[in-house]
């Protein structure tokens, strides 16, 4: 194996969703922990959430004029060739100016032009794929990059086998010690320590199916003595919270967005969640009995594939989006009443955890420098 060395200058590219951005920031933090003097530059897509989330984490970012290809004929699709050429040109300019030792891509529109150009210019390149079904950008880059870090086995159907390393997905460091914070979490969210807690997660923007189903079934949970801690999401918060307020229900704790996810996980006895890669990785680390409701509105139905990795290992339960209104409450309440199944799921999902994913990815990156 090649001698590894400290990384002094690195470009990290990608974004579009929290599932790309937060792993990228975790990788950046690990590099910085090893070398506080490192210079890290992010490259994202103009107008996407990384352009605000990355500076909030303390890192500079440059934007490329790039977007994805829509499945229907749109003006954006017609402009795509122009955007790609523009982004490749700007990526080349950024690389020439910054002179990185390494370029890392985490998926999302911007990582395509940046990693493609870095590879052409002889810069060592590494990509990280979070999902069980590879994203379009990472598949496009597969033959050109030097190393591919993946979260799950069986990814050689998307990437050259000799380039693949299974590392898991990097998550925020505070998630790793979440279960020791239960008392703090109960106080933070104003919860009753004598009642079990259902944590409901639909992603930062929210999930229409999960929210509608919870509104339909919330009184069933309350009748069973279960408290509900509910991240409703940006798109649906006003509508759902006003409906809950009109009902005047106790023991329902709605939030637009939960920043203290470590504390939310700490209090949860059962979790209902979408199956984005980041959520799956975090739930493995905290070992919570989980009912996944994968979003059907994602490329190649990759959330179902993420969830099935755990369902097939007897480490989680799954309810299809189209069946949520008829089945979700029954499956979840049965889980609350079945301590043996909760314990089995919890132990099994912990076996899938990769708590040192960021460190393993940076080890691979250092080998390339």
Same domain membership, residue 346 and residue 238: yes
Strands, E assignment, 94-246: 102-105, 125-129, 147-150, 164-166, 197-201, 227-231
Annotated binding-site residue? 122? no
- Lowest model confidence (mean pLDDT) among 65-69, 272-276, 277-281, 310-314: 65-69
Annotated binding-site residue? 166? no
Considering the domain boundaries, does residue 322 fall inside one?
yes
Q: Where are the alpha helices (DSSP H) in 75-207?
A: 75-98, 111-120, 136-141, 173-176, 182-189
Res 77: pLDDT: 64
- Other C-beta atoms lying within 10 Å of the C-beta of residue 5: 12
- Give residue 66's domain range: 9-169+355-368
Q: How far apart are CA 127 and CA 111, in angstroms?
A: 9
Instruction: State the pairing for strand pair 164-166/147-150.
Output: parallel
Predicted confidence (pLDDT) at residue 112 exceeds the cutoff of 70: yes
Burial of 327 (0-12, 13-18, 19+ CB in 10 A): middle
Same domain membership, residue 205 and residue 95: no
The CATH number of residue 62's host domain is 3.40.50.2000
Annotated binding-site residue? 18? yes
Annotated binding-site residue? 203? no
Annotated binding-site residue? 202? no
Instruction: Give the count of domains, the chain.
Output: 2
Res 16: pLDDT: 81
Residues of the chain above pLDDT 70, percent: 96
Considering the domain boundaries, does residue 2 fall inside one?
no
DSSP labels, 306-369: HHHHHHTTTS-EE--GGGHHHHHHHHHHHHHH-HHHHHHHHHHHHTT--TTHHHHHHHHHHHH-
Q: Which residue has the tokens 């969210």?
A: 189
274 with 294: CB under 8 angstroms?
yes
Considering the domain boundaries, does residue 327 fall inside one?
yes
Residues 240-282 pLDDT 10s: 999 999 999 989 999 999 999 999 999 999 999 999 999 999 9
pLDDT band at 160 (very low <50, low <70, confident <90, very high): very high
Considering the domain boundaries, does residue 309 fall inside one?
yes
Annotated binding-site residue? 303? yes
**What global pTM score does this model have?**
0.88
Predicted confidence (pLDDT) at residue 367 exceeds the cutoff of 70: yes
Q: What is the largest CA-CA distance in the chain?
A: 64
Residues in CB range of 169: below 8 A, 6 or more apart: 23, 128, 130, 151, 277, 278, 280, 281, 354, 357
User: What letter would DSSP give residue 248?
Assistant: T
Residues 1-46 pLDDT 10s: 455 678 999 999 998 877 889 899 999 999 999 999 999 999 999 9
Annotated binding-site residue? 366? no
Annotated binding-site residue? 193? no
Annotated binding-site residue? 119? no
Residues 186-238 pLDDT 10s: 999 999 999 999 999 987 778 999 999 999 999 999 999 999 999 999 889 99
Annotated binding-site residue? 204? yes
Same domain membership, residue 163 and residue 24: yes
Same domain membership, residue 57 and residue 162: yes
Annotated binding-site residue? 258? yes
Considering the domain boundaries, does residue 4 fall inside one?
no
Annotated binding-site residue? 198? no
Considering the domain boundaries, does residue 147 fall inside one?
yes
Annotated binding-site residue? 343? no
């Amino acid at each position: 194996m090649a001698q590894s060395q400290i990384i002094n200058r690195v470009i990290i590219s990608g974004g579009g969703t929290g599932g790309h951005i937060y792993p990228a920031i975790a990788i950046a933090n690990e590099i910085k922990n090893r070398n506080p003097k490192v210079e890290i530059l992010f490259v994202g897509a103009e107008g996407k959430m990384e352009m605000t989330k990355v500076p909030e984490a303390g890192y500079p970012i440059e934007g490329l004029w790039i977007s994805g290809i829509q499945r229907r004929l749109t003006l954006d699709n017609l402009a795509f060739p122009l955007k790609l050429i523009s982004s490749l040109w700007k990526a080349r300019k950024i690389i020439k100016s910054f002179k990185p030792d390494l370029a890392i891509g985490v998926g999302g529109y911007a990582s395509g032009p940046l990693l493609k150009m870095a590879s052409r210019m002889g810069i060592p390149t590494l990509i990280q794929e979070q999902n069980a079904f590879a994203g379009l950008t990472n598949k496009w880059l597969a033959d050109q990059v030097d190393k591919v870090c993946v979260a799950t086995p069986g990814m050689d159907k998307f990437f050259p086998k000799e380039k693949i390393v299974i590392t898991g997905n990097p998550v925020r460091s505070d998630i790793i010690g979440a279960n020791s914070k239960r008392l703090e979490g109960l106080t933070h969210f104003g919860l009753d320590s004598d009642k079990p807690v259902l944590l409901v997660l639909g992603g930062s923007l929210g999930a229409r199916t999960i929210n509608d189903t919870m509104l339909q079934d919330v009184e069933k949970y309350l009748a069973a003595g279960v408290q509900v801690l509910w991240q409703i999401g940006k798109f649906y918060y006003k509508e759902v919270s006003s409906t809950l307020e009109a009902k005047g229900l106790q023991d329902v704790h709605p939030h637009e967005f939960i920043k203290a996810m470590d504390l939310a996980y700490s209090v949860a006895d059962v979790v209902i969640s979408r199956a984005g890669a980041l959520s799956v990785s975090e739930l493995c680390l905290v070992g919570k009995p989980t009912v996944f409701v994968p979003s059907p509105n994602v490329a190649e139905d990759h959330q179902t594939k993420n969830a099935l990795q755990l369902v097939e290992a007897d480490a989680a339960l799954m309810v299809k989006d189209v069946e949520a209104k008829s089945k979700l409450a029954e499956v979840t309440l049965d889980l609350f009443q079945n301590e043996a199944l909760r314990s089995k799921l919890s132990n099994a999902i912990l076996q899938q955890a990769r708590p040192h994913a960021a460190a393993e990815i940076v080890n691979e990156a250092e080998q390339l420098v």
